[in-house]
Structures are given as C-alpha cells and as structure tokens.
Structure 1
Amino acid sequence: MIKRKHNKNKIGKPPGSIIYTGKKHDTSLKMQLLEYNETEYKTREIKGIEEINLDSKYIKWLNISGLADTEYIKYIGDYFKINTMILEDIVHIGQRPKIEVFKDYTFVVFNMILHDQEKKNINHEQLSFILFSNILITFQEFDLNTFTPVKERIQYDIGGIRKKSESYLLYTIMDTIVDQYYLLLDEIEEKIEALEADIMENMNSESLKEIYGLRKELLLCKTSIWPLKDIINYMMRDEELFTQNIKEYFKDVNDHIVQIMDFIVIYREVLTGLLDTQLSNSSNRMNQIMTTLTVFSAIFIPLTFFAGVYGMNFENMPELAYKSGYLIFWIISGIIGIGLYGMFRFKKWI
C-alpha cells in the first residue's frame, strides 16, 4: 500500500497558507538562470530574483531547487504577482498533476519518478512550472539532474531550440520528463523478466514480495502519468494558450503518454499472471507435501495394526511362542511396506 502522509501543520490553516510539506528541510534554496537566443547562451546562479532583467530579449528560464524556505518562495510570488494558492501548491508536495491558466501566466504540476539503483526503489519528485510571456520558472524540491538533457540541448543548440519560444521550452522539459518514464519502465520490465524466470525455475517464496513491490511501483507510475493526458489535451484544445506549431509537439507527448499507459496495463497483467502462478506453485508444493505425508501414513497403517495386535497381553496368542516370530513379523512388515510403496510409485502418487 502506498503511504500518503499529510503535514499536521496545514490542518485548519486558511487557503493560501505557504507551508512546506516535503522531507528536504535541510536543502537550501538555489536559483539558476539560463538566458539564450539564436546566437548567445549564458547560465549563472543568482542570489536574488532582482538580478533578472525581464525586459531583455533573451529567452529566460529560472530553475529553483529547494522549497523549504517558504519565506523566499512567498517573496518570489509577490515579485512575480503569483497567486498564493499556486504558491501553496508548489510547496505542498504530493500534488496531483494539473494545469491552471491565469491571465498573465500558466501553472503546471508534473510528477517525476526515477529509479534509485542503490536503494532499489523509486524516487518521486514534484515539478512545478509557471510560464509567463517572457520567462519560464520551474520549481524542484531537490536537484536530481532532471533537466540536464534540456540544458545540454540549449547549450549546444540541438534541434534549433534557441530559435523557439518559452512555450517550446516548456514542451521540451515536459517531453524529457515523459521520456524518463520509458527508462523506468525498461527497468521494471527487466525485473519482471528476472522474476518470471525465478518463479518458473525455483518457485522462490520471496518472489511474492517482489511481485507486490512491482505492482506498487506500477500503481505509482499510473497515478503520476494518467493525469498528464488531461493536461496535454487541455493544452492542445485551448486556442489562446499555445500556437498551432507548439500544439503539434504536444500531440507527440500525448502519444507517448498513451503508449506508456499501455505498457503499464500490460505489465500489471503480467504481474497478475505471475502472482497467480506463484500462488498456484505454493499450493502445488503444499499438495505434494501432503501427498507424501499421506502415502507414508498409509504405509504405516497396516504396520501399526500388526504392532497393536501383537502388543496385546493375551495369554493364548500362539504366534508369540514361535521361535522365529520376531523375524517373521519384520519380514511381513517389510513385504507390506515395500509392496505399498511400489504400488504408490506405480500409480505415480509419489
């Protein structure tokens, strides 16, 4: 089960209360500003948003990582005249992906899921975007190098990105995030294949935990990716939000989302089949154990009968006076035991 913790400090607070609900309280706020046009590119860390020249002809991208400093987040909101409800969503980690359109800007929430190779689990990061006409602002809880491919594209002008607008930059980042899901699904697919081989060959009881773990990961992927389809559809339908050229790019992102959802459905079905196979293997193994115990019990039933009969203390039991009676008892018992065992083997009960 996926645990969802809420911050107790938010209970009873009025709407627009800027309270950070994440776990990275020790992460300091950092701001990186990228400015570029067709011929120039420059990037630098800034100490204050006053250093940004909003009137310059550069395309501007401000990436903010570290959301624990809510006072400065509020200051950024006041500087850019961002609604306090939006600021609340930015620092309230765990938001459902969504889009909200205002007069002067557009607010988008995405969820990024990355696989942690060391801890063998997945990391969840909320990404928030605010698109103005002259600048794109992104908010990260912590820096996972999520935007590195986009920064490299801008630096080396791959695909002519410097000739495009801030809207195209938003598309590029969203497309990069969606592409990261393919990498996560590839890793999940490898786990499923290894798990399938383990179940078929070894009938390992530990596989049950792995199956439930993978189903949990896929459920988290589904809840993070499925709302993105609504966001992209809204962007493509809105006539004023983006130009037709940009909408064509978002159609490609939408196709990727649909394909990823298809993969998730397939993988969940495969895991359901593996779960049934694992439970069936466990049941068959238990049946084999019970069959073995039953066979040996059946072999010892007649032997127990003979032992009980000749264990009675009657005075007139002629067999007890035989000189070879003890040996005869063991010979008969051996014949009965071996005969029953052979019959069970012949019938393939054991």
Structure 2
Amino acid sequence: MIVDKAIYVAGHRQDIDGDISDAFDEARAKDECFVWIGLFEPSESEFELIRDELKLHPLAVEDAVLAHQRPKFERYDDTLFFVLKTLAYKDETSDIEVGEIMVFMGQDFVVTVRHGIGNPLGPVRERLEADPELLDHGPTAVLYAVCDEVVDRYGVIAHEVEVDIIGLERSVFDPRSDDVTADIYSLKREVLEFRTAEDPLIPVLQEIVKGRVAECSGTREYFRDVLDHLLRVDGQVDSHNELLTSILTAHVALLGKQQNEDMRKISSWAAIIAVPTAVAGIYGMNFDHMPELHWALGYPVAIVVMVVACLIVYRKLRKNGWL
C-alpha cells in the first residue's frame, strides 16, 4: 500500500491530492522537481500504476514485490534499483529480524518499497523535509538518507549484540549459570545473519563513492560518510563473530574440565568402594579352611580393616585433589 506521496520542488514538499500520474507529469515539466512515493509491502496490483507510469523493468518490480533479495545495485535504462537489508533487534529473544527496502530512482522520481518492521521511513522523510538544501539534490538525497538511516540502525544493533555477548561471556565463567551452549550458537547465527545484511552493501556504496554512479555525483561526500560508518560496523561484526568463537571454545574447554573433574571423583569413589568389596568378596568364598571364619573377633576386625583401608584411600585421594 502507499504510505506517503509528495512532490518536491526546490527541496520543499507539496502534497499530491489528485492523480499520481499528474504529479509525475508535473515533475517532468519542471526543473528541480521530483516525486517521492513510499510503499509498504505492496501487492503486484498496487504496484501496477506506478510500474506503468514510470516504465519500471518487470524484473525489478518482481524483486520489489516478492522481496527476499540480497543487497545490490542494478541499472535498468535510466532507472537505478537499489536493495538494502533492514534489521530489527528483539531484546527479549536476542533475535535479529531482517526486512528490506527497495529504492527505484530516476531523474524526476524516487519510489521506496519497504518490507518488514525495520527502519520505517517516516522519520527519514521528516528529516529530509527539514533540510531543503539537502533535499534540493533530488532523488539521490532520498537514497542517501535511506542508506544513512539503515546503516545507523546497523550501528545501534551492533552495540546491542555486543551487550548480549558480554552477558554470555559472564555466564560462561559463572559456575552457577546454566548451560549456555545453545545461546552461544543462537547469537552466533544472528551475527552471521547480520553480516549477510551489511557486508554486500559495502561494494554498492563504494561504487557510488568512486563516482561510478553519475546520478549520485552531487552527493558523493554524503555517501562517503555512510560508507565510513558501514565499514566501522563491518569491523564490529567481525569482532563479534571472533569473540563468540572464542567464548564457545572457552565454554567447551570448561565443560571438558568439569567432565574430567567429575570422572576423577567417580573413579575415586569407585576406588574407595573397591576396598570393602574386595574384603567382602574374599570372605564370601566358600572354602572349608578359612581360620578367620572361626575366630571370635574375625567379624569386627574385618569391619575395622575395611573402614581403616577406606579412610587411608580417601585421605590419599583427598590430598591429591581428586576429592
């Protein structure tokens, strides 16, 4: 569905009250004028009018309607098509929910298509409308603002992931905590999903910064700033992934150490139990000639021998740190 639509003349907004086609005609007829249409999870029929009016390529329209695309930049004649991944972080589950924003950009129009809950574009539009000088750059200003908002959100989520990693690290070295193996793997999977969202965007922005997208030549400095932020986030994601790997390795080592300690204790108690078992086993044999069987003190002496032997073995194992 269409969530917002407006025509911008010299950086100033004018609402579209009539037919969208008339707004496009006006934008084509005037200088420093373009139309910005914002859509949220549109169906193919909802996109049909815009597709026909702007003569958008069917493959790009299909990508925008169906979503599930990787970040990319494609050119279809005079129309540029960008795909960005949006992220939303759920604190209660430490899950990252992935969405998408598609941007169609031409000389006198920009169409943004959003899927998922991440990065609503209302605040982006408001920020741009409060800065007519920036908005006067035309559709490329909208593309910059969308990229800037998405990358800034990446930075916020990177910090939230870091907080969760610190919590996991403390749990690993806290003997009172429950097993966190599943939590480590879950967060590591989310970090890898984070990486698949932000990493492919780097070459897209590099193309713009290097001047290979002529339509964005007037805003290269802005995109350079976005690229710097994205590279910093990319480094943070790499660090998060490496730290989670180290935490997992330490956790496995601690589990192995605990298992070894448990095995030593089990073996120690087995050795202690073996002493009375051996004595009882000897006296349990059915031999006729066993003088101790007819000795009046044989039973209490055997008990004392077993107790003393068990105490000696216990103290020896205790001294060696096995118990």
State the TM-score, normalizing by the size of structure 2. 0.90
Per-residue CA deviation, residues 291-344 of structure 1 (Å, 9 max, x unaligned), is 111001111222211101111222222212222322211111111111111011
Distance (whole Å) between structure 1 residues aligned to residue 291 and residue 15 of structure 2:
109
Distance (whole Å) between structure 1 residues aligned to residue 245 and residue 23 of structure 2:
53
The residue aligned with 1:7 is none
TM alignment of 1:178-217, pairs within 5 A: 178-202=151-175, 204=177, 206-217=179-190
Per-residue CA deviation, residues 84-108 of structure 1 (Å, 9 max, x unaligned), is 1111111232111111123322111
TM alignment of 1:316-335, pairs within 5 A: 316-335=289-308
The residue aligned with 1:64 is 39
Amino acid at match of 1:79: E
Q: Partner of 1:146: helix, strand, or coil?
A: coil
Does residue 254 of the first structure (1) align with residue 198 of the second (2)? no
- Partner of residue 101 from structure 1, selected from 75, 94, 103: 75
Q: How far has the Cα of 1:141 moved from its partner?
A: 2.4
Per-residue CA deviation, residues 158-186 of structure 1 (Å, 9 max, x unaligned), is 8x434432212211111110110011111
Q: Partner of 2:215: helix, strand, or coil?
A: coil
Given that 2:83 and 2:101 are in contact with CA atoms closer than 8 Å, whether structure 1 keeps it comes out as yes
The residue aligned with 1:52 is 23
Given that 1:34 and 1:61 are in contact with CA atoms closer than 8 Å, whether structure 2 keeps it comes out as yes
TM alignment of 1:199-238, pairs within 5 A: 199-202=172-175, 204=177, 206-238=179-211
Q: Structure 2 vs 1, CA of residues 314 and 109 (structure 1 numbering), >3 Å: closer, same or farther?
A: same
Given that 1:107 and 1:128 are in contact with CA atoms closer than 8 Å, whether structure 2 keeps it comes out as yes
The residue aligned with 1:74 is 48
Greater CA drift, 236-245 or 323-332: 236-245
Q: Partner of 1:232: helix, strand, or coil?
A: helix
Distance (whole Å) between structure 2 residues aligned to residue 243 and residue 275 of structure 1:
44
Does residue 114 of the first structure (1) align with residue 85 of the second (2)? no
Please, what is the CA RMSD of the aligned residues? Answer: 2.3
Q: Partner of 1:94: helix, strand, or coil?
A: coil
**What is the aligned residue count?**
319
Q: How far has the Cα of 1:72 moved from its partner?
A: 2.6
The residue aligned with 1:287 is 260
Q: How far has the Cα of 1:244 moved from its partner?
A: 4.0
Q: Partner of 2:36: helix, strand, or coil?
A: strand
Q: How far has the Cα of 1:42 moved from its partner?
A: 4.9
Amino acid at match of 1:64: L
Distance (whole Å) between structure 2 residues aligned to residue 129 and residue 349 of structure 1:
66
The residue aligned with 1:18 is none
Same amino acid, percent of matched pairs: 24
Given that 1:37 and 1:162 are in contact with CA atoms closer than 8 Å, whether structure 2 keeps it comes out as no
Per-residue CA deviation, residues 39-77 of structure 1 (Å, 9 max, x unaligned), is 844557x7963363442454432101122x212323321
Does residue 168 of the first structure (1) align with residue 141 of the second (2)? yes
Q: Structure 2 vs 1, CA of residues 312 and 154 (structure 1 numbering), >3 Å: closer, same or farther?
A: same
Per-residue CA deviation, residues 4-23 of structure 1 (Å, 9 max, x unaligned), is xxxxxxxxxxxxxxxxxxxx
Distance (whole Å) between structure 1 residues aligned to residue 7 and residue 93 of structure 2:
36
Given that 1:203 and 1:281 are in contact with CA atoms closer than 8 Å, whether structure 2 keeps it comes out as no
Amino acid at match of 2:39: I
Q: Partner of 1:95: helix, strand, or coil?
A: coil
The residue aligned with 1:6 is none
Q: Structure 2 vs 1, CA of residues 179 and 109 (structure 1 numbering), >3 Å: closer, same or farther?
A: same
Q: Structure 2 vs 1, CA of residues 70 and 39 (structure 1 numbering), >3 Å: closer, same or farther?
A: closer
The residue aligned with 2:6 is 34
Given that 1:74 and 1:87 are in contact with CA atoms closer than 8 Å, whether structure 2 keeps it comes out as no
Higher helix share: 2
Amino acid at match of 1:108: F
Q: Partner of 1:149: helix, strand, or coil?
A: helix
